[in-house]
Structure 1
Amino acid sequence: MDHTTVKSPKKHEIRILRAMIIIGVINMAYFFIWFIQPDHISYLPLYVIIVLVLLFQFLRILHEWYHYFNIKMPANVPMPPGYRPTVDVFTTYFPGEPYEMTEQTLEAILSIRYPHETWLCDEANDQRLKEFCASRGIHHVTRNSRKDAKAGNINNALQYASGEICVIIDPDHVPHPDFLDPIVPHFANTEIGYVQIVQAYYNFDESFVAKGAAQQTFQFYGPMMMSMNHYGTVLAIGANCTFRREALDSIGGHAPGLAEDMHTSMLLHAKGWKSVYVPKILARGQVPSTLHAYFMQQLKWSRGTWDLLVHVLPKIFTDLSWRQRLHYLTAPFYYFSGIIYFLNFLIPIICLVFAILPWKGDFFTFALLILPLFASTVLIRHYVQRWVMEEKERGFHLLGGILQIGTWWVHSLGILYTFIGKKVPYLPTPKDNRDQSHWTLLLPNILVGLFSVAAIIYGLRYDWNPYSIIMAGIALTNFTSMSIVTYIGINSRRMQHSAGRITPMSVFLWTKRQFWYLRHFLYRGLRLGGLMILLLLTLGMFVAQRNDKQAFQDPPKAQQHTGRLITGEFSPYGDRGLSATGPSDLASGIVSFYSSWTDSLPNKEYFASIYNTGRIPMVTWEPWISDSKEDLHSISVFSLINQGEFDEYLTESAKYFAALERPVLIRFAHEVDNPFYPWSEEGSVSPQNFKNAFRRVVSVFRNQGARNVTWVYNPWKASALDQYYPGDDVVDWIGVTLLDYGPHLQNRSYSFNELYAPFHERLIAYPGKHVILAEMGTLSEDRSKWLSNAFSSIYERYPEISALIFFQSDKDQNIPPGVSDVEFLNWSINNTSQVSALLSDKFDVQQWSNQLINTRKPNGAFKKQPMDVSGITYNKAHQWFRNVHSLNRRVLEEDFAQIRSLGFTEIKRQGPGMYDQNVLSVAQDMNMKVHYAFWLEPDSIYIQEQELDIMDRVRELKNDRSIASWNLTGAVFNQIDLLYDPVERVIQADWWARRVNEMAGRLHSLDPERPVTIDYKLGVSGVHEFLQIAGMIPEIDQWVLYPADSLVLTVVSDSLNKWKVPYYWEGPAPEIFCDYNGFMPWQDRYQRELVVFDGLVDIWGRRKQNYLKVDQCLNGNRVDVDIPAWNFILPAIPAWPQSSFPLQAIQYRNGEPEALTDSGPWTIDWYLVQVDVFGNEKAIMPVGKGPSVQLELPWNADYFKVLMVIHNTSISKHITKPLVLPVHPSQRDQYTSLK
């Protein structure tokens, strides 16, 4: 017999399900709390609506999960001995219902094995049915009025029936012969008022409507009703419910109403009667198979349940248990989803038509948080499908969901009718299967679909941005849903009548059937692995979030060694300090030699012998100016250099080196702190004297175009590194002398780590500087082992080391003081092949690319005419999916209007990007010009692909009249500094210069009308190199120069103007606008892993001080508001990580600082800003508000700054200071080890 049942949940299944629900609740709470943060509000009215929609949907999901949390099967109750209650079985008839259907049901009722009386409650007093009943012994009851509809009809029959148990079966439901066998035993418990069974359907596949309507009930009659059984909230379903007659009499009979079954169960529960759910299919009925019938049923239920909520529930609320109160309070809200769906239709239409963004935020984080929440809903829903009644009831139930969406207006109408008091007649759901769908029933959905499509077309043409595309996607989904509902409304019988014909729907059904074959495996996988999948997704989300937060605490990741190492050697011959140039196992890229100023430089043939082997020279250039040490000690060679005494010598030397046109390393005045050398402190060398001399030497070389020379600064001891450092702009390499004297010094050998670690600790302050071990050797007994350990240390711990020179002198007479038992030291390595193998095991030992380098000085003024341009660099929301900002038309129009109010009509914008269409369209509408920039990646591997993309984009946009020029941005010549060592970067710069010139030429060919510009970051000492590079790229019309520091503007401009360089400035300095031509960033940028505080406007849209300065100097506008001159000082108290650290704003009275206690109309916000090893800001975290806050100190405080923002609603002032913590010397080692 077909009374399908399910197995009772096992304990471990319940534990798994509850774990999944708890995880789902956590995911939901986490997402919702994040979503409703004030920073995410863009357009408040729509944002509130979205939050309310989300809240409703989340409550609805929680309501569903609540009904999964305690799935419980009722015990199988055997029939107690001697218990045989009398039973009456009632069904009804309403005029117009099919006779065959009613007669089939009556025949089935008669076939029920348990003794009973059969009753037909006939509203029509139909003669055919009277004769049918008379011939079969069925009680036929009729009445003269139709008061209370179905409930009144049943109550009328109850007057004549006397059974202890009453079964009410709809005329379209066919009970099985054993229908009463599992039900009646439950009534032996005198507290039971009614027993409900599964409502199943035999016309499930009759039409699309029938299939969708049935899908909506599967979860309800399975796991949800099983939980209701546990909660005592089982809902009576009028189609096939069994009541105790005494219970019905206690409430005055079957309760009336459009939702008479819910009304009846509500009253019974209020009277204290209990209910039981038997999860067995003991009857099968009809589900509405036409849209007309389905809509009629849903309107009746919506109106009926809300009527109960408004008018009945308040009267009996206190008589119900808390679970019953919750149940009857929330059940009608199923139909409130109609209003929610309407809002879901309305939101994307409004957003697209009016170019409004209700929400703003980091889309990457949104996707990261929504994924586990979405997975929670899907996986939990599939997991509980092990407790649905039949295999065919499992699945995603998409058709049921779409049908419910399409019923939005019906459900909404039912709620509206409740509040305006409009009656809905109680008519049985049509069961004659005649499709009476009329266009009026389809019109609301058709209108929603049409409005959605119109909004998509208009919205994307008017405002093309990622969020409008997302809204268009939602609108397209709505249109698709409405189209499907309209289709099945028109073709509700198509599932039966389209057999044998190929139609779009038949193709869809065929595809669906193919998927059906796989669904068993898919559903089984989702059910079996649901918890594991959910755990992995949730943990992944939390780990990603934690990593974001932890990354804020952790120091920047240690740089990893590239594995690329250049090796060289000093293998002396003769007495001039020259080195052998023949092939060597140890010297892959460098030949090191020494040259004194008292000697002439080696001839060009010597250099050629080095270059011809694929290596380059490193000259240790020793400023010996006398053969007498005594004379040198009495003369400061650096003072003479600074006085210009050696300018002629230096100039000739520079010309000589430049003429080589190939790379050279010069290690000038090495080990200035070593008293052995005459140029050391014994020669009255002050650190500043040395630094000035070093800078002068480099300057002379650069003036002569010797950009092929890279400079090595090599102190003797680590303690002198900072003291004598000449400056980043003149030091290409930091050299380290690393010699282990073995037993000749303190009778022990020092490991590589012991010798190098002091340098490494100080080199942290010089991020990006490459290190060359200019002299490396050991006199230990096991040299191979010492070197092997050294190579491992370099690879694992010291990524800054890019090159090393093996000191291969076999007759070194520089004997350490106190050593008298040796005549000379032998540093040479005998087993060079073994050492070479050890090197190759760890490193990719390479040579430098040996190509010509342009060392020609600029020979004349530039011919391009400079453009007189000033404007705004507008890179707001460039990476949209990682950005807190978005650029819809409203935002662009507001920003561009503000930019124009400053007097600017030109912007520079990097592309291609998702916002290009919007930016160019709004710029054209507002008569603004766009300097369109393309980012150049410095990795030459991608140059061909980049160039193709650039050319394609220029072809697409060259007819756009809002574009003023094409720009190559990214400062590629400066970026290569971060990727290559100092020698290779010069080689790469020349390669890029040639390639950029070719690229600019092609751009001119494609678009002869527009100039081509390129970015370049310029330092004070880099003018000559810039001029040389610029001279190599004549196709560039204009150079966009980014000042490396504030001095560049004033120091360099005269030189550039002298050479008539076509350029303009770009950067954050207001002087760019006030005194020069150029571009300045518009707004601070805030996105994942990047924060930049260089804009005229801050992250939150408030005007910064630079904005006010620019407005004043250009337009004479002066803000009447005086921004407070407040500041803050980090307290000089020892502190530990994760301890509380006070931050206090201060004000000055009579020049003396005092604590600020009241900020008045101004607000003070405090932030921690994380920086990377190069000092670039990468993340920001709020700390607190007010004049004083307590900061929990992060670990690795060296990588943080404190930002104080003083602001009102429109103006802000930023003050940033490094978070430098004072640590007592006695605690420094312990603190360092903790870090």
Structure 2
Amino acid sequence: MTSTLHPRAPELPPPVGPAQPAAGTTVPGDPQSAARRRDANAAAHSPSLMLVMMLATIGAVAYAVFLLDPDHRGDWLPYTLVIVAESILLALALLAMWTVLSSGYDPRDFAYHQARERLFDAPEVLRDRATDDPTRWRLFLHDRPVTVDVFVTTCGEDLDTIARTVRAAVAVHGEHRTWVLDDGRSDGVRDLAATLGARYIRRLSSGGQKAGNVNHALSIAKGDLFVILDADFVPRPELLVETVPFFVRDDVAFVQSPQTYGNMNSLISRGAGYMQAVFYRFVQPGRNRFNAAFCVGTNVVFRRAAVDDIGGMCTDSKSEDVWTSLHLHERGWRSVYIPQTLAVGDTPETIVAYAKQQLRWATGGFEILLQHNPLSPRRNLTLDQRLQYFVTSTHYLSGIAPLLLLLVPPLQIYLGLAPMRLDVSVGTWALYYLGFYGLQIAIAFFTLGSFRWEVLLLAAVSWPIYVKAFWNALTGKQQAWAVTGRVGRGTSPFEVIVPQTLCFVFLLVTSVVGVWQYRDDLLPNLSVAWNVTNTVILGGFLLTAVREHRAVVAGGAA
């Protein structure tokens, strides 16, 4: 550590009412932030979205009844593959829609608004002539000053990325201390922190990865609240103004805001970003109603006393954020999620970065399922919390389901095994099928503004990542910690997508065989069309991999 702590500010007599600053001075965040809050809440509370979700729920139930009808059952092997895969997708879709339908709850109650009005002592601001520097305005809860530490966690990211985040963190409105927690042990980062007015902490060990880094910082920084920011998430000035008032309630452990991305400029980054958008705009708000919104590792404000109550941030998993949230909820603490962008960061831009991120997240989710089953009666959780954490721990099974469905068309092309007896009319079959998948696409149109084919592509090709994650969680296999934005040697995507490459070759051969086999049919065969579609999707993914490989080779040559 390169600096000493400031003494805690002495308590002042409580201010008399929410006094207003003089003309020309504004408390940060009020008009514009209020508009952003209204926009964020409107998206999650839209009656049109509720109607689409209800129709999609009916469609999902009807499709499930159609699949399970014994009269429609085909050959046992492909039928079993379809039933297992579709059961996973249907169950998780229904649970997700139930959560979204519960998203009309606004956590900003009267206590929040009252605390927000009294967050700053306006007479003190004017008396100390600090009106031109909102970073010096003391924060108050219960009319007493509250101290805040802002942690920027780093581990090998480039200096420009860190500088953007630290500079913005220092400029956040409300008196606070900014700390750079450097697990990369970089003298350049140390000097950067000093230049930008932030404090610097470097630990000698690296145990516990990011959670261990934060726990070490908590042994030095002693604020009542602390913020965690990844090195690539640039906070907005109103970060503390919007979140701190929630802590007026003594049982609130943390306040989480969404991960919003500013680098949606490649197929991978767009697909990864759009995948997360629905979760942050619609699913997390629904979890508020069940006190089950969980921390996502960055853009989050914690109450120190709550983290101390569970013995610190969880260090036993790569998904320390979800595990920490689970332990806090089991101890009776509350969480709050607000669907308002308070920091903008980077989503993975390459296949390698995406694979590492998804592997880390999925392994953590499966670890909860296999090691700490939320449905166990030993868990001190409400029924709603059990279900929500069960959804979290099984979510990535939906990423394995496409693998099962990929195998169905080849079984019919090579062996003549059909999953369903489609003796019903094509129109009837299409009605049930589109009643589920068609309405899922309608939800995507509504939530994302249009159908994002990048999401479909990544969802269809990511199954090797999730299979490996499940195996890691099942066997307890450890993997090296990988930071999304870390600087290092360029890696060819073909080093991590061998299964997808082999699968593409197999599907391509199968498509050729199928087209030749059914060349005399007047109408296209369903299994062939299905297989060709899968081949095209995987082919598009491999074209992206080829472009990335060329960029890596060119970068190495330079």
With the shorter chain as reference, the TM-score category is 0.7 to 0.9
Could you give the per-residue CA deviations for residues 402-425 of structure 1, whole angstroms, max 9, x where no partner exists? 112221101111001111221112
Match 1:59 to one of 91, 108, 112 = 91
1:60–1:134 distance in 2 versus 1, CA, 3 Å? same
Q: Residue 474 of structure 2 corresponds to which residue in structure 1?
A: 419
The answer to whether the 8 Å contact 1:93/1:102 transfers is: yes
Distance in 2 of aligned mates of 1:304 and 1:351? 36
Residue 432 of structure 2 is aligned to residue 369 of structure 1: yes
Distance in 2 of aligned mates of 1:155 and 1:8? 32
Q: Residue 321 of structure 1 corresponds to which residue in structure 2?
A: 382
Distance in 2 of aligned mates of 1:449 and 1:11? 39
Distance in 2 of aligned mates of 1:5 and 1:189? 20
SS of equivalent residue, structure 2 residue 264: coil
* Aligned residue identity for 1:367: A
Note the C-alpha offset of 1:57: 1.4
Q: Residue 202 of structure 2 corresponds to which residue in structure 1?
A: 142
Q: Residue 296 of structure 2 corresponds to which residue in structure 1?
A: 237
| Larger relative strand fraction | 1
Match 1:43 to one of 66, 75, 94 = 75
Note the C-alpha offset of 1:467: 9.5
Note the C-alpha offset of 1:222: 0.4
Corresponding residue pairs, total? 485
Note the C-alpha offset of 1:17: 4.2
1:131–1:30 distance in 2 versus 1, CA, 3 Å? closer
Q: Residue 263 of structure 1 corresponds to which residue in structure 2?
A: 323
Distance in 2 of aligned mates of 1:438 and 1:9? 39
Distance in 2 of aligned mates of 1:12 and 1:255? 31
Residue 244 of structure 2 is aligned to residue 188 of structure 1: no
Note the C-alpha offset of 1:40: 1.8
Note the C-alpha offset of 1:433: 9.0
Q: Residue 283 of structure 2 corresponds to which residue in structure 1?
A: 224
* Aligned residue identity for 1:241: V
Note the C-alpha offset of 1:22: 3.4
Could you give the per-residue CA deviations for residues 1073-1109 of structure 1, whole angstroms, max 9, x where no partner exists? xxxxxxxxxxxxxxxxxxxxxxxxxxxxxxxxxxxxx
Superposition pairs of residues 1096-1107 of structure 1, within 5 angstroms: none
Note the C-alpha offset of 1:181: 0.6
Note the C-alpha offset of 1:370: 2.5
Distance in 2 of aligned mates of 1:12 and 1:311? 33
Q: Residue 1113 of structure 1 corresponds to which residue in structure 2?
A: none
Residue 279 of structure 2 is aligned to residue 247 of structure 1: no
Q: Residue 74 of structure 1 corresponds to which residue in structure 2?
A: 107
Distance in 2 of aligned mates of 1:15 and 1:215? 22
Distance in 2 of aligned mates of 1:12 and 1:87? 30
Q: Residue 469 of structure 1 corresponds to which residue in structure 2?
A: 525
Residue 167 of structure 2 is aligned to residue 107 of structure 1: yes
1:24–1:400 distance in 2 versus 1, CA, 3 Å? closer
Match 2:63 to one of 18, 22, 31 = 31
Q: Residue 197 of structure 1 corresponds to which residue in structure 2?
A: 257
The answer to whether the 8 Å contact 1:288/1:431 transfers is: no
Q: Residue 402 of structure 1 corresponds to which residue in structure 2?
A: 457
Superposition pairs of residues 93-104 of structure 1, within 5 angstroms: 93-94=154-155, 96-104=156-164
Superposition pairs of residues 1110-1125 of structure 1, within 5 angstroms: none
Distance in 1 of aligned mates of 2:523 and 2:206? 56
Structure 2 unaligned regions, length at least 5 = 1-28, 119-142, 552-558
1:70–1:258 distance in 2 versus 1, CA, 3 Å? same
Q: Residue 84 of structure 1 corresponds to which residue in structure 2?
A: 145
Distance in 1 of aligned mates of 2:193 and 2:49? 50
The answer to whether the 8 Å contact 2:102/2:286 transfers is: yes
* Aligned residue identity for 1:88: D
Could you give the per-residue CA deviations for residues 847-868 of structure 1, whole angstroms, max 9, x where no partner exists? xxxxxxxxxxxxxxxxxxxxxx
Superposition pairs of residues 695-844 of structure 1, within 5 angstroms: none
Could you give the per-residue CA deviations for residues 364-408 of structure 1, whole angstroms, max 9, x where no partner exists? 22123323333432334444x2xxxxxxx5221210221122211
Distance in 2 of aligned mates of 1:88 and 1:127? 22
Report 1 or 2 for greater relative contact order, CA contacts < 8 Å, sequence distance ≥ 6. Answer: 2
Distance in 2 of aligned mates of 1:404 and 1:34? 24
1:114–1:293 distance in 2 versus 1, CA, 3 Å? same
Q: Residue 137 of structure 2 corresponds to which residue in structure 1?
A: none
Could you give the per-residue CA deviations for residues 1171-1202 of structure 1, whole angstroms, max 9, x where no partner exists? xxxxxxxxxxxxxxxxxxxxxxxxxxxxxxxx
Could you give the per-residue CA deviations for residues 812-848 of structure 1, whole angstroms, max 9, x where no partner exists? xxxxxxxxxxxxxxxxxxxxxxxxxxxxxxxxxxxxx
Residue 405 of structure 2 is aligned to residue 341 of structure 1: no
Distance in 1 of aligned mates of 2:462 and 2:443? 25
Percent identity of paired positions between Structure 1 and Structure 2: 26
The answer to whether the 8 Å contact 2:515/2:528 transfers is: yes
* Aligned residue identity for 1:61: A
Distance in 1 of aligned mates of 2:343 and 2:54? 36
1:446–1:171 distance in 2 versus 1, CA, 3 Å? same
Q: Residue 179 of structure 1 corresponds to which residue in structure 2?
A: 239
The answer to whether the 8 Å contact 2:366/2:470 transfers is: yes
* Aligned residue identity for 1:64: A
Superposition pairs of residues 1021-1100 of structure 1, within 5 angstroms: none
1:32–1:135 distance in 2 versus 1, CA, 3 Å? closer
Note the C-alpha offset of 1:332: 2.6
Q: Residue 183 of structure 2 corresponds to which residue in structure 1?
A: 123
The answer to whether the 8 Å contact 1:309/1:332 transfers is: yes
The answer to whether the 8 Å contact 2:44/2:285 transfers is: no
| Larger relative helix fraction | 2
SS of equivalent residue, structure 1 residue 417: helix
TM-score under structure 2 length normalisation: 0.81
Distance in 2 of aligned mates of 1:192 and 1:473? 53
1:102–1:149 distance in 2 versus 1, CA, 3 Å? same
Could you give the per-residue CA deviations for residues 905-946 of structure 1, whole angstroms, max 9, x where no partner exists? xxxxxxxxxxxxxxxxxxxxxxxxxxxxxxxxxxxxxxxxxx
Could you give the per-residue CA deviations for residues 778-828 of structure 1, whole angstroms, max 9, x where no partner exists? xxxxxxxxxxxxxxxxxxxxxxxxxxxxxxxxxxxxxxxxxxxxxxxxxxx
Q: Residue 161 of structure 1 corresponds to which residue in structure 2?
A: 221
Q: Residue 213 of structure 1 corresponds to which residue in structure 2?
A: 272
SS of equivalent residue, structure 1 residue 418: helix
1:88–1:23 distance in 2 versus 1, CA, 3 Å? same
Note the C-alpha offset of 1:451: 0.9
SS of equivalent residue, structure 2 residue 511: helix
* Aligned residue identity for 1:379: A
Note the C-alpha offset of 1:175: 0.6
Superposition pairs of residues 648-1047 of structure 1, within 5 angstroms: none
Distance in 2 of aligned mates of 1:492 and 1:6? 40
Distance in 2 of aligned mates of 1:62 and 1:133? 47
Residue 353 of structure 2 is aligned to residue 293 of structure 1: yes
Note the C-alpha offset of 1:140: 1.4
The answer to whether the 8 Å contact 2:86/2:401 transfers is: no
Could you give the per-residue CA deviations for residues 188-245 of structure 1, whole angstroms, max 9, x where no partner exists? 111111001121112122x221111111111111011111122211120112111000
Distance in 2 of aligned mates of 1:316 and 1:322? 10
Residue 343 of structure 2 is aligned to residue 283 of structure 1: yes
Compare 227-236 and 293-302 and name the one that shifted more. Answer: 227-236
Distance in 2 of aligned mates of 1:278 and 1:103? 26
Q: Residue 436 of structure 1 corresponds to which residue in structure 2?
A: 491
The answer to whether the 8 Å contact 2:45/2:103 transfers is: no
Distance in 2 of aligned mates of 1:291 and 1:10? 34
Superposition pairs of residues 538-553 of structure 1, within 5 angstroms: none
Note the C-alpha offset of 1:283: 0.8
Match 1:483 to one of 497, 522, 539 = 539
SS of equivalent residue, structure 1 residue 168: strand
SS of equivalent residue, structure 2 residue 478: coil
* Aligned residue identity for 2:108: A
* Aligned residue identity for 1:475: N
The RMSD of aligned alpha carbons is 2.6
Could you give the per-residue CA deviations for residues 646-685 of structure 1, whole angstroms, max 9, x where no partner exists? xxxxxxxxxxxxxxxxxxxxxxxxxxxxxxxxxxxxxxxx
Note the C-alpha offset of 1:246: 0.6
Note the C-alpha offset of 1:186: 0.5
SS of equivalent residue, structure 1 residue 145: coil
